[in-house]
């Protein structure tokens, strides 16, 4: 693995010295030890990066679709050659077990690129509307990207790749908790031949760099993934310059088990999905809705699955879960587990503290709560840890009501029986649930399908055609 330039920013095709002097520790969440330090940016660094992107925009926005497809093919080739480095970095800085990093965390950098390439090949940047109007999709301009730590390359790729496909230039601020994978990604883009100034990277925190990007008058669009609270602040900062803002925010996704589904399989699948990535996924199915007649049985199954869930070191291969990303996240999860206990929920499995055998690292116990009502904090707030709440419902109408009784609307999950009638019932329920993505019977959306949500889960869509469209202005030319 090459040594990353942690004391530099990537601006205008070069690794440049920051204008400030602040450095920040990067901590391995399994050991709580510092393994790197990265430079922290200032608004002046953002100004330099935006200026480079602005200067590069006129020429890059006029490149042809064929030229941009060639560039994406080059990025794919270089990314693949450094795949193992990417996977190892995500494991070290974020705590994802190496098997998860190999098959998912790093893999999405290829998957999303392939989805965008397929969409770009079919994308029509110009078409006629009626006898005389030419409708043109044009690159929106300089874009600012602020990305999270939980699926770091996933969110970087979902922004950078479609923006390149549309002909935009950009400035990226990755999470200060997981900056290493972004530095490697900058090296990949450089090696792939991305023209200077098209992609720029400035590390830093929200107040120092994120706010400067959000409010910058030369940034035409901000795309943010993270907490709803931060998304609101970014929207406020962007408002005076009337720039486009797209947001992919939090979730509290329901998982509805219909009364004729295979409960053994559905509960097991639901828990494993909720606990994947140590529960640090915005679309995790964290509220399991069970018909009253099957509620006690479902809790017994959930208890067995949770207690059998292994917690282990990220460096070890296997299907175990790893630590949370930081001390702050660990404390938040512990506080919400405590809130569930105090609110009267039944602790089916797990609870406070570290799992047995761990006295350091941000490891938590896989936790399940029963007897949860939808007005409890643990049913309404995004925990972002391996914590499942189980809620009973009376009939399909009640299940839909509970599923929609949340400020979020990112994803939803429905488990049906095997009959065509039950599947049709699940599809009807999917149409009634207010969420951007609904998954039936363990299915997942394809690379290139729209990712995003309703309500406080954000606005805009990422991936494929919809991601490219988000980075375009639309011009009507009447002839």
CB atoms within 10 A of CB 190: 16
Could you write out the three-class secondary structure of 156-185? HHHHHHHHHHHCCEEEEECCCCCCHHHHHH
Yes or no: say if 452 and 438 are a contact pair by the CB < 8 Å rule.
Answer: no
Which residue from 214, 278, 280, 210 is spatially nearest to 251, judged by alpha carbons? 280
CA 309 – CA 275 distance, rounded (Å): 9
Q: Is 256 helix (H, G, I), strand (E, B) or coil?
A: strand
What percent helix, strand, coil does the chain show, rounded to 5?
A: 45, 20, 35
pLDDT means per 10 residues, the chain with 479 residues, are: 90 98 98 98 98 99 98 98 98 98 98 98 95 95 98 98 98 98 98 98 97 98 96 97 97 98 98 98 98 97 98 97 98 98 98 97 98 97 98 98 98 98 98 98 94 97 96 96
N-term to C-term CA, the chain: 56
Which residue from 353, 347, 357 is spatially nearest to 302, judged by alpha carbons? 347
Cα-Cα-Cα-Cα torsion 327, 331, 337, 341, nearest 10 degrees, comes to 150
Task: Give residue 33's Cα distance to chain centre.
Answer: 25
Which residue from 283, 231, 297, 292 is spatially nearest to 255, judged by alpha carbons? 283
CA 425 – CA 427 distance, rounded (Å): 5
Q: What is the pLDDT of residue 293?
A: 96
Buried/exposed 129-139: b ≥16 CB within 10 Å, e otherwise: eeeeeeeebbb
- Catalytic site positions: 248, 282
CA 438 – CA 441 distance, rounded (Å): 10
Q: What is the pLDDT of residue 274?
A: 98
Which residue from 95, 101, 220 is spatially nearest to 169, judged by alpha carbons? 220
């Amino acid at each position: 693995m090459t040594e990353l330039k942690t004391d530099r920013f990537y601006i205008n095709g070069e690794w440049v010295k920051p204008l400030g002097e602040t450095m920040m520790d990067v901590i391995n969440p399994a050991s709580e030890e510092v393994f790197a330090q990265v430079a922290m940016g200032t608004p002046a660094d953002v100004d330099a990066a935006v200026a480079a992107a602005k200067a590069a925009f006129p020429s890059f926005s006029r490149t042809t679709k064929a030229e941009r497809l060639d560039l994406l093919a080059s990025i794919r080739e270089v990314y693949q050659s450094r795949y193992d480095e990417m996977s190892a970095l995500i494991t070290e800085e974020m705590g994802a077990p190496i098997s998860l990093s190999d098959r998912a965390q790093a893999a999405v950098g290829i998957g999303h690129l392939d989805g965008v390439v397929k969409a770009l090949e079919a994308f029509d940047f110009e078409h006629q509307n009626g006898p005389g109007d030419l409708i043109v999709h044009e690159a929106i301009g300089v874009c600012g990207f602020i990305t999270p730590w939980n699926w770091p390359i996933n969110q970087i790729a979902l922004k950078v790749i479609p923006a390149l496909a549309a002909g935009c230039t950009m400035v990226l601020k990755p999470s200060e908790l997981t900056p290493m994978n972004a530095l490697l990604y900058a090296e990949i883009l450089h090696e792939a031949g991305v023209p200077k100034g098209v992609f720029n990277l400035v590390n830093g925190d929200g107040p120092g760099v994120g706010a400067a990007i959000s409010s910058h008058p030369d940034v035409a669009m901000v795309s943010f993934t993270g907490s709803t609270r931060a998304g609101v602040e970014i929207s406020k900062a962007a408002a005076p310059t009337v720039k486009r803002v797209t947001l992919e925010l939090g979730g509290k996704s329901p998982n509805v088990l219909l009364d004729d589904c295979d409960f053994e399989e559905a509960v097991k699948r639901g828990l494993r999905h909720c606990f994947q990535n140590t529960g640090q996924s915005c679309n995790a199915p964290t509220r399991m809705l069970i018909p009253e007649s099957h509620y006690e049985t479902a809790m017994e199954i959930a208890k067995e699955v949770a207690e059998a869930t292994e917690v282990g070191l990220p460096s070890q291969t296997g299907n175990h879960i790893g630590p949370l990303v930081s001390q702050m996240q660990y404390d938040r999860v512990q506080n919400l587990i405590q809130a569930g206990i105090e609110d009267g929920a039944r602790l089916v499995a797990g609870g406070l503290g570290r799992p047995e055998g761990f006295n350091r690292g941000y490891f938590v116990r896989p936790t399940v709560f029963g007897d949860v009502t939808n007005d409890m904090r643990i049913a309404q707030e995004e925990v972002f840890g391996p914590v499942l709440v189980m809620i009973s419902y009376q009939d399909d109408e009640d299940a839909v009501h509970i599923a929609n009784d949340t400020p979020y609307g990112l994803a939803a999950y429905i488990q049906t029986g095997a009959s065509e009638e039950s599947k049709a019932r699940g599809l009807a329920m999917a149409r009634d649930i207010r969420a951007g993505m609904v998954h039936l019977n363990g299915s997942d959306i394809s690379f290139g399908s729209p990712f995003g949500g309703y309500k406080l889960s954000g606005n805009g869509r990422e991936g494929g055609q919809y991601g490219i469209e988000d980075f375009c202005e639309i011009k009507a030319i009447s002839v």
